[in-house]
Structure 1
């Protein structure tokens, strides 16, 4: 494990959680959006993470990064990354509102299947994960600082 590996893991976690916070915030903001540019209600989005691993068996330099989920290989954890942001395939929630401009012939309006309470829990969880990565980064920094003080003495 290199000197900066702990920093790389923590910063990759912060970056991934920042993306998750942005996506969850967009879900909350669009929970009542009944009409988008594509037509129809807003579709909830979810973030998919993947582990970023370093191939220790064939390492050529410090930038030789491989991405895999195989447990039977010579890989060391390098961090986490956002694999993709996917749209939910959940059916919209139909509400009877005949006066709404987006109502169909029967008076029903299609709303996104987004539960604001669940999204707030996801937002709090992502924020706490971000804060945990900040704490890990700061802990690693203080360990390195103390190590340098000991070596200097």
Structure 2
């Protein structure tokens, strides 16, 4: 394990959660959007994560001793990344509003199937995950600082 690998894992998690926060925020902001450029109501989006190798080829302190003495050298350090952002396949919610400009011939307006309460819970979860990655980053930084302080004899 390289000196900066812990930082890379934490920052990959922060980056992925930042994307999730942005997508969930867009869902909340567009919960009442009945007309988009593509036509029809806004489609809820969801982030799909995947595990990724974290800077495995560009280690800054890779040496023969580290790789020969490490029993887990075959195991690769992984972080998290955004695999894709998917549009929801849920049907829109129809509401009877005959005076709405986007109402169909029968007076129904198609709204996105977005529950703001569920989206807020998802947003809070993403924020807590982001904060956990920040805490892990800071803990790693403090450990490294104290280690360097000990070695500074």
Short-chain TM bin: 0.7 to 0.9
Deviation at 1:51, TM superposition (A): 0.3
1:9 is matched with 9
SS of the residue corresponding to residue 102 of structure 1 reads coil
Deviation at 1:60, TM superposition (A): 5.8
Structure 1 distance, partners of 2:50, 2:89, is 21
Structure 2 distance, partners of 1:121, 1:61, is 38
Task: Tell me the C-alpha RMSD between the 2 structures.
Answer: 1.7
Structure 2 distance, partners of 1:141, 1:78, is 19
Determine which structure has the larger strand proportion and give its number: 1
Structure 1 distance, partners of 2:7, 2:57, is 21
Q: 1:96 to 1:84 in 2, by over 3 A?
A: same
Structure 1 distance, partners of 2:75, 2:104, is 54
Is 1:77 paired with 2:77? yes
Deviation at 1:76, TM superposition (A): 1.8
Structure 2 distance, partners of 1:61, 1:117, is 43
2:132 is matched with 132
Structure 2, unpaired ranges of 5+: 61-73
Structure 1, unpaired ranges of 5+: 64-73
TM (normalized to structure 2)? 0.87
Deviation at 1:101, TM superposition (A): 0.5
Q: 1:60 to 1:81 in 2, by over 3 A?
A: closer
User: Could you report, residue by residue, the CA deviation over 1:41-81 in whole angstroms, capped at 9, with x for unpaired residues?
Assistant: 000000000001369xxx76539xxxxxxxxxx44233110
Report how many residues are paired. 140
TM (normalized to structure 1)? 0.87
Larger radius of gyration: 2
Structure 1 distance, partners of 2:91, 2:98, is 20
Is 1:34 paired with 2:31? no
